[in-house]
Amino acid sequence: MEKLTILLVGSGGREHALAWKIAQSPLCGRLVAAPGNPGIETVAELRPVKATDADGLVALAQEIGADLVVVGPESALEVGLADKLATVGIPCFGGSQRAAQLETSKAFTKDFCQRHGLPTAAYGVFENAASAGAFLDTLQAPFVIKADGLAAGKGVVIAATRAEADAAVVDMLGGRFGSAGARVVIEEFMHGEEASLFAVCDGKTAVLFGAAQDHKRAYDGDEGPNTGGMGTYSPPPVLTQDLIDQAWRELILPTVEGMAAEGHPYVGVLYAGLMLTPTGPKLVEYNARFGDPECQTLMLRLQSDIVPILLAAAKGELASVAPPQWRDEAAICVVLAAEGYPDAPKTGGVITGAEGSFDQAVIFHAGTSRDAQGRLVASGGRVLNVCALGATLAEARESAYGALSRIGLPGGFHRRDIGWRALQRV
Ligand code: AMP
Ligand code: GLY
């Protein structure tokens, strides 16, 4: 097979992990990333085009003669990158703007779940506080209030009391999240442990693409504010094969079939945030992309070449490729965050010790950049992902924390208990 030119869109830890894996493929002739980061630059050429500049990305894909575009973040899907690439005939691993509504609109997804009988929390969608209040009257605490649109993972309030719930509704409808909060979704609270399940889809077919467990709270013991994710491990033992089969049957397959039947075939990653309730897995949310930092652990564990899978999904030919093979090892990812993350991360701190080679760990860059002197500095809330494989999760964890202890970032912090739920089960 001729070598491929691949354009990767995005600039986070997820995209560094994808770039690392794609660059190992014998099929990858040239890898270009836009806009990328200093870690991605070690395996790809960088071009300064933003993930939300769909026209700029299409022009770049044409200029380099891309055989495949791989989209990392949902923000590129939301501006219609996949749709625009389709009009110029460039295969894109990532969904259309309409298909990506499974992530970009919570109301769309909840309505979709209802139409197709998918297991999820009972809910209502409201545009004013009076009708929201009437629905809250029918529920018991805690209450779950969500801004309808994308709010960078911050548009969800779990209110312990009715007063807090009412305040959250007023806050969101009052414009705290801009147009993302023009409508609010109120949900029944689901009890259980959460896990992330991934499927790769080509519009008609889906293949299982691993599972992971995230740690969303900023501090040890699942305390502190919600974040984009402070660390992950894979596979999560709580998500047994039986539960995966059930989620596949009751959620993933009907979703892929339902999206096709409704005229927006689903292409790319379907990431199901699951709540493992006493009555089985229920959907918390869908995302139209890999999780970040879940992807980092999946890439470490993926044994197969990723490129044929991404290309087949983009071309609607997934049924013709072998299913992915996984290493029989555990993977962990620990996020090093900047001081003040998630509320007000302090950027500009100089990072030390992250660029050497590590025997037992792999470092994926997230919010890093170079300063005028060429030093590696923090430029975002989540700065680095320190990742490792091990025969057991405990071994992987030891390797990751060992590597982390050699990395410096003034004021930076990380959780010390990534993987605790799985380790407690043993
Ligand atoms: P989301 O952005 O929809 O994933 O919500 C963020 C977090 O809020 C989830 O990871 C859950 O921990 C929690 N959450 C959201 N919806 C519910 C629900 N209906 N019941 C319980 N917890 C929820
Ligand atoms: N780590 C959670 C997410 O990517 O949405």
3-state secondary structure of 44: coil
Phi and psi for 253 in degrees, rounded to 5? -65, -50
Q: What is the CA radius of gyration of the chain?
A: 21
CA of 121 relative to ligand 1 center, distance in Å: 10
Cis peptide before 235 (omega within 30 of 0): yes
pLDDT of 151 reads 62
pLDDT of 357 reads 84
The structural domains of the chain, ordered by start, are 4-94 (3.40.50.20), 122-188 (3.30.1490.20), 191-320 (3.30.470.20), 330-425 (3.90.600.10)
Alpha-carbon dihedral of residues 355, 359, 365, 369, nearest 10 degrees? 0
- CB-ligand 1 contact for 273 (6 Å cutoff): yes
| Atom 15 of ligand 1: nearest residue by CA position | 284
Cβ pair 51, 9 in contact under 8 A: yes
Its sign, for the CA torsion 302, 305, 308, 314, is positive
CA of 156 relative to ligand 1 center, distance in Å: 7
Ligand number nearest to the C-alpha of 190: 1
pLDDT of 282 reads 98
Measure the CA–CA gap between 135 and 173, rounded to whole angstroms: 15
CA of 203 relative to ligand 1 center, distance in Å: 27
- CB-ligand 1 contact for 121 (6 Å cutoff): yes
Q: What is the pLDDT along the chain (426 residues), one digit of tens a residue?
A: 689 999 999 999 999 999 999 999 999 999 999 999 999 999 999 999 999 999 999 999 999 999 999 999 999 999 999 999 999 999 999 999 999 999 988 889 999 999 999 999 999 999 999 999 999 999 999 999 998 876 655 678 999 999 999 999 998 998 777 666 678 999 999 999 999 999 999 999 999 999 999 999 999 999 999 899 999 999 999 999 999 999 999 999 999 999 999 999 999 999 999 999 999 999 999 999 999 999 999 999 999 999 999 999 999 999 999 999 999 999 999 999 999 999 999 999 999 999 988 989 999 999 999 999 999 999 999 999 999 999 999 999 999 999 999 999 999 999 999 999 999 986
Measure the CA–CA gap between 288 and 248, rounded to whole angstroms: 16
pLDDT of 155 reads 78
pLDDT of 143 reads 96
